[in-house]
A and B are shown apart, each in its own frame.
Chain A
Amino acid sequence: MTGPEPYLEITEDSYASFAAEHFKVEEPKSGTLVLRGPCPRCGAVMETPVVDSIFRSTRSIRFWRRQSPPAAAQSHVEPMMCDCAEDHPDRPDGLSGCGAYWTLTISVADQ
């Protein structure tokens, strides 16, 4: 029996097409998307929020707004990584997932 794959920061062409095919998209609130599906490398189910803003500062009240248009309202390219909760050996402290990363194009259209 083999354990979980060790942590390795890696990307392959097939990761993006695999994720595009298997991931489901939800929009629980305007401006917030949730992408859910299996990691292309380790296969663990992952859940990634795609958000417009993040509260960052503990010293001042402001929002960190990404320069790109709102994720849930506009089409854009979203960098992704595996952020599964599995325990992958050799993973540095403070990181999550197995190390796989890729990009997805999120297209929004009105029907």
Chain B
Amino acid sequence: MSKRVVRLSAGPAMATESDLRAVQHRDRLLRDELPRVRATAAAWRNGLGALLVGLIGFGLIKGRSDVGQLAPSWAVIVGALLLAALLVGAAGAALLLRAAHGRPFVTSAREMLSPRAADHVEAVTSAQALLWGMIATLGCVFLLVAAVGATWYGPEKSEPVVRVATGTGTVCGSVVRLAHGTLVLKTKAGEVAVDLSTALTLEAVDSCP
């Protein structure tokens, strides 16, 4: 494995005043870099936290209260979206807290040989955490909206259906009413009355053909 060697030599030309101004500007940016990242992260943490509290706590987005009313496949989709929103939101919150307050661990003393360089490395790492925290939190909001949308627009769970075989054929549909030995089924062709005294078989099925 090759080793990198860094050598210093005098610059090719005399430094100019514009060089000095550029270095002074960079020096000021570097000295304030970490507090700037922390302040930005705290502002985003508060703003995104308020957005989530508003969306969830005050019910600004609300779907069906019972996903059991949805078709089973859609209920699974909604459950997966809510689980993903929970995981992504937790990751986003952790990243935003990491950016605003730093790592909750001790730092090796050997890493502190250069305080200004250590502050810069921490600032860059925190800025990356802030960026990913923002993406994850907004992703959580997107997943929540998708879950609520699925509960709004997903198909309802189908009603239980029965199939009745008589000497003249088979009728399949959901039960409308049963009175005086006559069963009325709601079929695709409309309501059909079946005289149960003529029924050969009566069975519950998952769906009609």
Interface residues of A (CB under 8 A from B): 9, 11, 13, 16-17, 19-20, 23, 25-29, 32-36, 47-49, 51, 53-58, 61, 63-64, 72, 77-81, 83, 94-96, 101-111
Contacts and interface: CB of A to CB of B under 8 A. Distances in A.
Given A26-B117, A55-B37, 4 more contacts: A20-B10, A34-B114, A55-B40, A107-B6
Contacts of B23: 79-81, 101
B30 A54 contact: yes
Contacts of A36: 114
Q: How large is the interface on B (under 10, 10 to 19, 20 to 34, 35 or more residues)?
A: 35 or more
Interface string B17-43: 101101110111111010011011000
Nearest to A56: B29
A33 B10 contact: no
B33 A55 contact: yes
A93 B133 CA distance: 36
Given A51-B120, A109-B4, A28 B27 contact: no
A82 B140 CA distance: 47
Contact of A16 (B10, B24, B40, B113): B10
23 contacts: A9-B17, A16-B11, A19-B10, A20-B10, A28-B118, A47-B117, A49-B114, A51-B120, A54-B29, A54-B30, A55-B37, A55-B40, A55-B123, A56-B36, A79-B23, A80-B15, A81-B23, A102-B11, A102-B15, A103-B19, A105-B11, A107-B6, A107-B8
